[in-house]
């Protein structure tokens, strides 16, 4: 599977605008995204199974060879992993607390995670069929419970 991230190019452009080193700026972005992946998966494990599971999850992902290699490569995969693990964190937090906000933020992370190269060049939210205005998004981020989603 190829990762095709429009968001990665924007993040990389912002990193290069702040620090114009073509060799180290992509690696910095990948390293920060790798650290975000470790944090997201540890927080997901903590939400579902406690502190010991969180420590084990952080240790496993921090020593997983592909994650280590991706995190220093400068490729788009670490940003994809960070967004995907952020979506998993949102789902886990929604499952535990029942509040809608983590689920909406996780869904936005999942939508931002990428698109297939064959899709037309549109905004990722528009590609997913989301046509909610700012008022609707703000209402979704309110503190309502998961039970009100089905209603």
On whether residue 17 sits in a domain, the answer given is: no
CA distances from 107 to 55, 60, 88, 140 (A): 25, 25, 9, 11
**What is the rounded CA–CA span in Å between residue 49 and residue 146?**
20
| Per-residue pLDDT reduced to its tens digit, 62-93 | 999 999 999 988 888 899 999 999 999 999 99
Task: Give the number of domains in the chain.
Answer: 1
**What is the rounded CA–CA span in Å between residue 12 and residue 25?**
7
On whether residue 146 sits in a domain, the answer given is: yes
Residues in Cβ contact with 95 at an 8 Å cutoff, skipping those fewer than 6 apart: 47, 48
Residues 25/15, Cβ–Cβ less than 8 Å = yes
Q: What is the pLDDT of residue 151?
A: 44
For residue 146, give its domain range: 24-150
Other C-beta atoms within 10 Å of 24: how many? Answer: 13
On whether residue 56 sits in a domain, the answer given is: yes
pLDDT lower than 50: segments of the chain: 1, 117-118, 127, 143-151
Residues in Cβ contact with 59 at an 8 Å cutoff, skipping those fewer than 6 apart: none
Residue 25: name the closest of 8, 47, 7, 42 by CA: 8
Q: What is the pLDDT of residue 133?
A: 55
**What is the rounded CA–CA span in Å between residue 77 and residue 81?**
6
On whether residue 58 sits in a domain, the answer given is: yes
Other C-beta atoms within 10 Å of 107: how many? Answer: 17
On whether residue 101 sits in a domain, the answer given is: yes
């Amino acid at each position: 599977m190829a990762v095709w991230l429009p968001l990665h190019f924007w993040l990389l452009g912002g990193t290069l605008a702040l620090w114009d080193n073509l060799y180290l700026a992509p690696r910095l972005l990948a390293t920060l995204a790798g650290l975000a992946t470790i944090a997201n998966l540890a927080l997901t494990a903590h939400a579902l199974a406690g502190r010991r599971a969180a420590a084990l999850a952080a240790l496993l992902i921090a020593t997983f060879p592909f994650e280590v290699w991706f995190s220093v490569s400068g490729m788009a995969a670490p940003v994809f992993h960070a967004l995907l693990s952020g979506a998993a964190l949102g789902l886990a937090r929604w499952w535990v607390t029942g509040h809608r906000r983590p689920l909406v933020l996780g869904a936005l992370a999942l939508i931002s995670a990428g698109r297939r190269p064959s899709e037309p060049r549109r905004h990722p939210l528009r590609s997913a069929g989301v046509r909610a205005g700012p008022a609707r998004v703000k209402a979704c981020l309110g503190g309502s419970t998961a039970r009100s989603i089905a209603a």
